Amino acid sequence: MSGAPGVNRVALVTGGSRRIGRAIATHLHAIGFDIALHYHHSADSAQALAAELCATRPDSCRLFQADLADATQLDELANALLARYPAIHLLVNNASRFLPTPVASCSPAQFDALLGANLRGPYFLVQGLLPAMRSGDASVVNILDVHMEFPLQDFNVYGATKAGLAALTRSLAVELGPDIRVNGIAPGAILWPEGDDSYDAAMREKTLRQTPLKRLGEPLDIARTVGFLATDAPFITGQVITVDGGRSLVS
């Protein structure tokens, strides 16, 4: 897969060093993209993945570190990407914060942290990268969450930021067409959250019981959907694809 002769297309994957982000970056690399791999704290994981990808295709993965909730760091990230790549063909807004915010105790700092990482960051990253995404075949894929439609107890701000990102997906599809397509993916139960008791054993059992396919999905399910939207869906924009094993169909 190439843009100019001899030049691979470039995909920026935010939060790409671990979990679903890692699967997305690995799959996109396998289908021909060079990867701009963003991370915040997970330097060791990012370096290991970059080494793995570059071992199969030299100089095919570059690392970029930033806190996307920090406006200054986000500007520096966009400028570094523009300096490195004349064209960016795919932006996957995968990086996200996930934490409980019961309305009785949520602090302004918690609210702002979720808003910054999950909504403001993706918005201004799109804005910052526009000069490199006007090729006519670029796209943005926003990673959302089924909980934007089916609220998770005590995660009200998280759900609101993902609902906002879904609305932004539709609005930007209208505003940025025809040059840039913008779509979203709403994962269901793919990986259980880390270090959180909102999905205890009883909740996990209930979730699987109410999922028609009766199992967790895999990170590759999301990665393949990103690949489809990026490479095989030239007439799809402004849409959200739910990947949840049918869970959202069951009341």
| Identity of the residue numbered 124 | F
- 1: pLDDT strictly greater than 50: no
Domain at 152, CATH number:
3.40.50.720
What domain count does the chain have?
Answer: 1
Asked whether residue 167 is domain-assigned, the answer is yes
Q: Is 158 a catalytic residue?
A: yes
| Spatial distance between the Cα atoms of 118 and 158, rounded to a whole number of angstroms | 8
pLDDT band per the 50, 70, 90 thresholds, residue 45:
very high
Other beta carbons within 10 angstroms of residue 238's beta carbon come to 16
CB within 8 Å of 161: residues ≥ 6 apart: 114, 115, 118, 119
For all residues of the chain together, what is the average pLDDT? 92
Calculate the CA dihedral of residues 46, 48, 52, 54 and round it to 10 degrees.
Answer: 60
Q: Could you say which of 85, 123, 158, 199 is catalytic?
A: 158
Rounded mean pLDDT, 146-152? 88
In Å, the largest CA–CA distance within the chain is 57
| Average pLDDT rounded to a whole number, residues 44-72 | 97
pLDDT tens, 93-124? Answer: 999 999 999 999 999 999 999 999 999 999 99
Residues in the chain: 251
In a domain, 2, yes or no: no
- Per-residue pLDDT tens over the stretch 188-246: 888 777 655 556 777 778 888 888 888 888 999 999 999 999 999 999 999 999 998 88
Instruction: Please report whether residue 247 resides in a domain.
Output: no
Comparison of pLDDT for 168 and 198, the residue scoring more: 168
Helix (H) or strand (E) holding 54: helix 43-56
* Domain boundaries, position 14: 10-242
